Structure 1
Amino acid sequence: MYKQFCKNLRHFISIMESDGGEESSRRKNAEALLPLADIEEYKKYKDSKKEEYRRISSLIYDISRYSEEYPSLKRLVWELWAYGFDIGQANEEFERTYEAKEVARLADLMLSTHYF
């Protein structure tokens, strides 16, 4: 499931980029999911405790809040956890570059094997 998510996400973003390169909210929300598609980069952030590590953990938490509405997200969050991603709400407030509900909807779409 995780591999399908990564493949679909990268393909979706490439379609959005080839669509004139305009900065749309859908593309912005899809790009917010990109850090979930690179396990090695995440491990570097985690080891160094960079702010990006907390942002990614918070993103996963935000996605998990919609798992009742989008059941496939439960499996994604579980798989991310199995790959070593941490899930937690950030203590400090930082500017989110995404809309949580839209990101959850896009993540659900990327998990679908019917997408491509």
Structure 2
Amino acid sequence: MSALLLASAGLTACSSFSSNNSRVPDTTMTKVLVELHLANARRSHVGTLPDGLKDSVFARHDVQRSDFEATLRHYSRNPKAFDALYNTVIDTLKAIESRLRQNPYDDAPQPPPDRGSSSAPSE
């Protein structure tokens, strides 16, 4: 899974970070990778994703695409660090899957209370 992400990112540059790029913090990188994997899973079920979804994930986490790609390049040269980061991504995805298997409608909106029946006892 991690090899596919690295390959799809088009990692061609040799330097880790340019003066214009900064490394994305591990916690943020984990969240971004989790969301990108969830989007990929959605695409495999629905066939398409909204335009700009990847950019919206980056924006939600205040990450520049160039910083994300520079961070991936950094990890491509530090596989042990990448494995550690990716284990967190995998654990997070497994936790999400487990939660959804236990409560598939956990995130579904709840119906409004039935206003036609009274919960007060009649006398």
Q: TM-score by structure 2 length?
A: 0.30
- Structure of higher RCO (CA pairs closer than 8 Å, 6+ residues apart): 1
Q: TM-score by structure 1 length?
A: 0.32
Larger Rg: 2
